[in-house]
Amino acid sequence: MSSVRWSIVVQDDVDKALRTYLARRGTKKGDLSQFVEEAVQARLFELTVQDIKQNNREYSQEEILEAIDEALTNG
């Protein structure tokens, strides 16, 4: 998998807090990038779940479970 370089700007206190946290854990090269990547992935997942919930709010839980069962059965 290839990597892309980002330039981002964060508040000074956020930078210090994160670097302090990573230093306490014995920071290695790439830890900052890995932390940011994991945070972005987690946030994207969270937003996707919110979108799905919003799109499905008109359906009852029973209707959703029936649709899941049907999809798994006919899958």
The count of structural domains within the chain is 1
The per-residue pLDDT for 1 is 82
How would DSSP label each residue in 44-55?
HHHHHHHHHHHH
- Model confidence band, residue 74 (pLDDT cutoffs 50, 70, 90): confident
Q: What CA–CA distance (Å, rounded) separates 39 from 34?
A: 9
pTM score: 0.75
Question: Residues 6-28: what's their mean pLDDT?
Answer: 95
Domain-embedded: residue 24? no
Domain-embedded: residue 6? no
Question: Residues 35-39: what's their mean pLDDT?
Answer: 96
Domain-embedded: residue 48? yes
The per-residue pLDDT for 13 is 98
> What is the DSSP code (8-state) at residue 59?
S
Domain-embedded: residue 55? yes
Q: What CA–CA distance (Å, rounded) separates 11 from 50?
A: 27
User: Residue 54 sits in which domain range?
Assistant: 29-74
Domain-embedded: residue 1? no
